[in-house]
Every structure is written in C-alpha cells, then in structure tokens.
Amino acid sequence: MINIQVNGNQIQAKEGETILSALKRAGIKVPTLCHYEGLPPTGACRMCVVEIEGFRTLVPSCSQPVAEGMKIQTHSQRAIQSRKMIVELLLANHPDDCLYCARNGNCELQNLSEELGVRQRRYAGGKKNIYHVDLSSPSIVRDPAKCILCGKCVRVCEEVQGVSSIDFVGRGSKTHVGTAFNKGLNVSSCINCGQCIMVCPTGALTEQTHIKQVKEALEDKSKVVVIQHAPSISVSLAEEFGVKPGVDVNATMVTALRMLGFKYVFDTSFTADLTIMEEASELVHRIKNGGALPMMTSCSPGWIKYVEEFYPDFIPHLSTCKSPQAMLGALIKSYWAEKMNIDPKNIFSVTVMPCTAKKFEAGRPELSQNDLPDIDAVLTTRELAQFIKMHGLDLGSLEPDSADNPFGTRSTAGKLFGASGGVMEAAIRTAHNLITGEDMKEIKLKDLRGFKGIKEATVKIGELEVNVAVVSGLGNARKVVEDIRAGRKNYHFVEVMTCPGGCIAGGGQPLNSDPEAIKARMKVLYDMDRDEHLRQSHDNPAIKKLYEEYLGEPLGHRSHELLHTSYGKRDVLI
C-alpha cells in the first residue's frame, strides 16, 4: 500500500491501481461517463479529471496510476470548470426533449447538468446532426440523437458479450454509434440482451415499451388479462421505489398487479419447475441413449439467438425445452383455457421479465398455437414499476397476496432460476432423483453459486459422474463453446445465462450497475432456498397434478407438443 493525499486528507492506495479506483474505495465521488468497471480505461469523456500537484494539466483519474505522496484535488475550480464545459459541449448538440425522454429523472447527463449548475446553452453548433430513431428491434429502441459517444454500449456489446452488433461509425463531428451498413438492429447481430441499455447514461438506448398495449387490453372488457412474473422480479422491483437492494416484495407485488386490473396473477417460477422436469428428463435421456452432449440450457433467449447466429453447429446441443415464460404462455392458452372454459382468443397474456430479449422471444413464430401467440406483451421490471407509479400505488402500504393456482405453487428450485447457476442446481437435484430414485443428501451445490463467469463441477449421481459448467455473459459462453469444439472440455450439461450474473442483472432490471445491489438480489434468492421447505421441482404437488391431469409424463407426446420447440440458423449482415 502507498499513501496519497486527497483533498487534504491522507488515504491509502494499492500500488499500480488508478486514482479513480483508490477514490472509490475511500468513498470519494468523482463523476464519470465513459468508465466501465472491470474493463481497461479509455479516458475518453474526461469527466473524471482531477488536479494533481506538480502536473501542468488536469489528469483523468480513471487511467492515471497512483504514486507515493501524490497530492490530489478532486473538486478544484479547474476540475469543476472543465467538467462543466464538457457537459455544456455535450448539450450543444443534444435534443431538448427531457420531458418526453424515457430517462427523464434518471439520466446521468441530466444529473451532471444539475450538479454542475448548467442553466443555459452557452455553446451552439452551426447545424445539428440529423438522426433517425431505430424502432426496428422488437426489444430495443436506439435514438442516436441522444448519444454522447461515451462508448459504453460498444464496449459491453463487444468486450463483455462478444456480439459486436454496434460500433463507432464516421469521423470527426459526424461520428456516431451505428450498426453494420447502418441497417436496423433487427437485421444486425444484436441478440436483444439489453446490456447496452444498462450502461447507457442517457436515453439513447431504451426498451421497446409494451405499456400501451397492456393498458388497452385492461380497458377491453372482452379480454381476460392475465399476467405472470419471473423469479427475479420480486427481488429487484422494490429498488425502483427507493428500497435498498435485496428485499423480496413478492406478496405486495401480487396485490399491486391485481389492483392494476389483471384478473389472474401467475408465478413463472411454477413453469421453472416444469422446465426442470422436462430438461432433467431430456438430460437423462441423452446420457442413456447417446444424444448430443453436452446438453445446453435454452431458457435464456439472448443465448439462443447467439447460437443461431454464431454457432449454428451447436443447435443440436440446445435443450428443446421452451423457456419458463414460453411454457406458461402455452399452458395458459391450452390447459388453463380449457379448465376455465375461456376461448384462448379472448385471453391477453402478459409477462413481467427481467430481460429485454424476452420481448423478442415472445414474437418468435415457434411460440404460437393456431396462429395465436402464447405471449401477447412483455413488460420489463422497469416498465412494471412505471405502470405501478402511474396508478399511484405504494408497494410499502399494500396488504400481501399470493398468486393464483394452478400456476401459483413453486419450489425454491424454480425461484433459483433468477441467478446464474440456479437452473443447473435445480436440474441436478431432479436429475439425481430421476436416475437413482432418491434425493440428494446435500442439495446445495456451492461450486455452482456466486458471480464467477465460468463455474465447473463434477457431480456424482449414483455410479455416474456428471461434468457440468455454469456460464454467465456471452463473452464467457464463447470461451466455453470454443473449448468444447476444440475438445479441451468434456461436459455433460452446460447452463448459459446471457447476462453476467444471470436474470438478476438482466437488461430489463433497475438501472443500478452497482455489483453490491446484484449480489443482494442473488443472496435473497439463496436465502429463500435455505429457509423454505419445498426445495425440489419434482416435489411440487402442482407439477405432479399437471402431469396427472393433462401432460401425462415428461417428454411425452403432449409435453413435446406444448413445452418443446426447435431452432434454426440465422443469417445476419456481418
């Protein structure tokens, strides 16, 4: 450790680290726009400049290493004036539509303008660049006019996700972020994960909102409007209402959904249990009958599109199981519609998902019956929070309620789907029972938990040793797929989540990139699994009843018809 002086106070820093890193650890805030935690610094935006005694110019703290005895001023007059000028120059070519912007009140540029006292336009270019809003994607809206060229979306797409669907285009004042050949996102290599939205500091990237369609359906008296909520929603929604991360609001969220007008509220964790029954059975069948191994999970739609585009030779390795969202959508308009004597055409099925790619998934032609989509609209966690606020509801003051049956009972294994490693842990618990006829003595699999991008384990199931891997983030997925292709790894089962950390950090979650918030969401899911009694999917009585009454058995004829699908190669303009 070395000693440096910051704003007149002595603090300790690690040798070789950047000034920004040392400041953050000491709780000293310096504004940034282009900095991406965990990736090499670019120093492009210059918002984090500080004044160092003995240096003639201001220095970007994100890229300048510390040195023994350094004397730093983070908010000297020169530093403040420099930051203010940067913001003013950014605003010179920025739209004045804050009132209509999706990020109004939650915009980093807006916050910096407030913080630095920018109250008038001092700089104006001769002619503003004219850009068109890209509405082509089913998941993401791109408005280049609001882009400040911080580059974070480009970096997360290329360096974290390994997709590279967007990049800097043009030179000088004509530079902008765009797709190959300036085509729409819908024909690019974009996999709809929404991680670009999570890092965008302005309204240049937002989700395609389905609030209007949902409102219209709720107002239509001829429609039976139902809604399902994904496992990770209840542990992240409260953050949108100012509650600290790591609080589960499942019961009051259900009450809010009923008050919004949804006639029936279902828990997608129920079909997470159903997914495990089908997926574990499929794994056992492949192992026993020489099927394509390793089998890879199929519940993350961004990952599915990634394989279809970049690794079509691995399509046979994907599980044929639909995602929990898609399974419940299919059951609502078949089994449940029959049971309730409701015409499926009169059902409007809504989902609340942590993932913008779920909007893309809902529109896949494979996920429909008789030309009727299984899912009619998808809301992100952010959209649900907006919808609740729109109706003046306060989550903290509502009485608790529970989801409707038959799709309201779930195990904690189903709830674990929200975190990276949860699908694998749930599947192993049930696969062990299917192979040996007995439950595992210790069902908590520590090696599969946590935030590591690639986790590996060998699990003993009877006489069989099953090699498994858990991957989150598509950059990590690429490494694993390449290792498998080269014969360096020999897995039986691989779980892949598109977003680093899993659904708790999905592209539709609260815009909070703090790793501690994501850890808190993961912790509450594991606390549920520790404290509740129904912890294995195959023990769920509602799942057993569904098979007895309707589906027959896992991998049976009706199960294949409703709960399984297929995928094919996609061509993109790259």
What are the Cα distances from residue 463, in Å, to 67, 265, 430?
57, 43, 16
DSSP state of 300: -
Tell me whether residue 366 is one of the annotated catalytic residues: yes
Tell me whether residue 51 is one of the annotated catalytic residues: no
Tell me whether residue 338 is one of the annotated catalytic residues: no
439-456 core/surface letters (b: 16 or more CB in 10 A; e: else): ebeebebebbbebebebb
DSSP 121-154: -----SS------B--SSSEEE-GGG-----HHH
Sequence-separated contacts (24+) of 6-9 with Cβ below 8 Å:
6/72, 6/73, 6/74, 7/72, 7/73, 7/74, 7/75
- The neighbour count for residue 242, using CB atoms within 10 Å, is 7
Tell me whether residue 319 is one of the annotated catalytic residues: yes
Q: Single out the catalytic residue among 207, 240, 278, 282.
A: 282
Max alpha carbon distance in the chain (Å)? Answer: 80
Rg of the chain in Å (alpha carbons): 25
What are the Cα distances from residue 350, in Å, to 125, 199, 217, 227?
45, 27, 10, 5
Tell me whether residue 299 is one of the annotated catalytic residues: yes
| Contact residues for 119 (Cβ-Cβ < 8 A; gap 6+) | none
Sign of the alpha-carbon torsion through 482, 488, 493, 496: negative
**Token pair listed for 65:** 């290493």
Q: Single out the catalytic residue among 361, 383, 425, 495.
A: 361
Whose tokens are 């998934």? That residue is 361
Tell me whether residue 503 is one of the annotated catalytic residues: yes
What are the Cα distances from residue 285, in Å, to 290, 414, 564?
8, 21, 15
Tell me whether residue 309 is one of the annotated catalytic residues: no
C-alpha to C-alpha distance for 311 and 319, rounded to whole angstroms: 15
The answer to whether 326 touches 375, Cβ cutoff 8 Å, is yes
Tell me whether residue 361 is one of the annotated catalytic residues: yes
**Token pair listed for 301:** 């739609």
C-alpha to C-alpha distance for 181 and 524, rounded to whole angstroms: 45
Q: Single out the catalytic residue among 37, 114, 219, 366.
A: 366
Q: Residue 319: which of 412, 414, 480, 427 has the closest Cα?
A: 427
Q: Single out the catalytic residue among 299, 321, 355, 499.
A: 299
Q: Single out the catalytic residue among 239, 279, 308, 425.
A: 279
Q: Single out the catalytic residue among 319, 323, 411, 472.
A: 319
Q: What share of the chain is helix, strand, coil (3-state, %, to 5)?
A: 40, 15, 45
Q: Residue 91: which of 70, 114, 69 has the closest Cα?
A: 114
Q: Single out the catalytic residue among 358, 359, 415, 455.
A: 358
User: Active-site residues: which are they?
Assistant: 279, 282, 299, 319, 358, 361, 366, 503
